[in-house]
Amino acid sequence: MPAPGYVVDLDAGHAQQLARQIRAQGIYAEILPRTRVDELPHRQVTAVVLAGDQSLAPLLSLPEVPVLRAPTEPWQDAELETFLNGLEVPRTWTPEAIIDAQVAAIRQRVGNARVICGLSGGVDSSVAAALVQRAIGDQLDCVFVDHGLLRAGEAEQVERDFVAATGINLTVVDASQQFLTALAGVHDPETKRKVIGREFIRSFEAAARDLVADSTGGEVRFLVQGTLYPDVIESGADGATNIKSHHNVGGLPDDLQFELIEPLRELFKDEVRAVGTALGVPDQIVWRQPFPGPGLGIRIVGEVTAERLEILRQADAIVREELGNAGLEREIWQCPVVLLADVRSVGVSGDERTYGHPIVLRPVISEDAMSAQWTRLPHELLDRISQRITAEVAEINRVVLDVTNKPPGTIEWE
């Protein structure tokens, strides 16, 4: 690999965007915060892009390194492209090259040891697992805790499609009844999250213990995590081990200690998707929109019950299908569908009054979920979704649209 390019982050807010644009051209670029710019003269550097409008003294000692000033957002693609074309470096940053480098690094680090990985059905854990499986095959064991709070078809995507595509060893823990029991009578959003987090760790821990106990042919030494580059940059932990406080591994007890393998720590989300596709991970997983760990549990306002989950799943499946048919699934960031289970709304059907529940559509566009704008979906599409949900899901007689940006509203309702 040639030496990286560096994007120096001068707090103008577009450093990540620039790094992504450079990498999309096949040139590996890292982000360096302004506070660490004096490291540059000690590194191999292909080029420097300044994301912001200051001159920096340490760059004076790098007279032979090309520097581009990109003072403001949005930065012109054409100018960046001209600059990159002038560099004459090979464009080697491709999904295949990323996979080859990671496979070699993982093999070297793991040796004959065994590795476990918790799958959530999301993009990051799936691609991380597929990459590690490519490197060490059967030395990897994956655990999927089905908490019963996933959307229609998602558990099957993990248990069947993902396994078929990757050949991964998978232990499925069906914990849905356990979660429902633990959630009975719980209305408060924060308590729900705590209950779900606690049950999740219990289930994962039990499965991990079983794997450790059963393990033949080597000690279970490593745990795979799907930490991405933005998490690394944002935690300021570049170089140090960054443990993402993810609900599915955050609370493992002290006597169950693993070293972390984070094969996606250098990658942005779009690169993770490209790597996933190159590894043969199914499209429904690679292109899955972000989905919260506590799942549908925090999209039912009110107590979580099996019946309410079923209602929400039906409505959510209609929304996803219609967004997909309209070709919008990859354009919008997320569209939570929220069941206002404690609200009785009055409707009319034939000559009869009905009492049902409202359902909320929350389509948003976003770069990183820190802020978001409500999406202007076509009225015809909204109409079709509304007609279908009220016709096909008996308990719902009202469909409403959330038109709140974040801030002040969060993306999820709970």
Please answer whether residues 68 and 29 qualify as being in contact, where contact means their C-beta atoms are separated by less than 8 angstroms.
Answer: no
Q: How many CB atoms lie within 10 A of CB 288?
A: 18
- Nearer to ligand XMP by C-beta: 18 or 128? 128
Cβ 267 to ligand XMP shortest distance, Å: 18
Cβ 412 to ligand XMP shortest distance, Å: 3
- Nearer to ligand XMP by C-beta: 266 or 412? 412
- Nearer to ligand XMP by C-beta: 102 or 248? 248
Which residues pair with residue 401 across a beta bridge?
Answer: 361
- Nearer to ligand XMP by C-beta: 118 or 292? 292
- Please classify residue 129 by burial: count the beta carbons closer than 10 Å to its beta carbon, then call 0-12 exposed, 13-18 middle and 19+ buried: buried
Pairing of strands 140-146, 169-174: parallel
Cβ 333 to ligand XMP shortest distance, Å: 7
Cβ 228 to ligand XMP shortest distance, Å: 13
d(CA 213, CA 337): 41
- Nearer to ligand XMP by C-beta: 58 or 197? 197
- Nearer to ligand XMP by C-beta: 52 or 118? 118
Please answer whether residues 9 and 51 qualify as being in contact, where contact means their C-beta atoms are separated by less than 8 angstroms.
Answer: yes
First-to-last alpha carbon distance for the chain, in angstroms, is 45
Cβ 414 to ligand XMP shortest distance, Å: 8
Residue type, 192: K
Please answer whether residues 30 and 8 qualify as being in contact, where contact means their C-beta atoms are separated by less than 8 angstroms.
Answer: no
Cβ 229 to ligand XMP shortest distance, Å: 17
> Can you give the binding site for ligand XMP, defined by CB under 6 A?
193, 247, 290, 292-294, 334, 369, 406, 410-412
Residues 6+ positions from 108 with CB-CB distance below 8 Å:
none
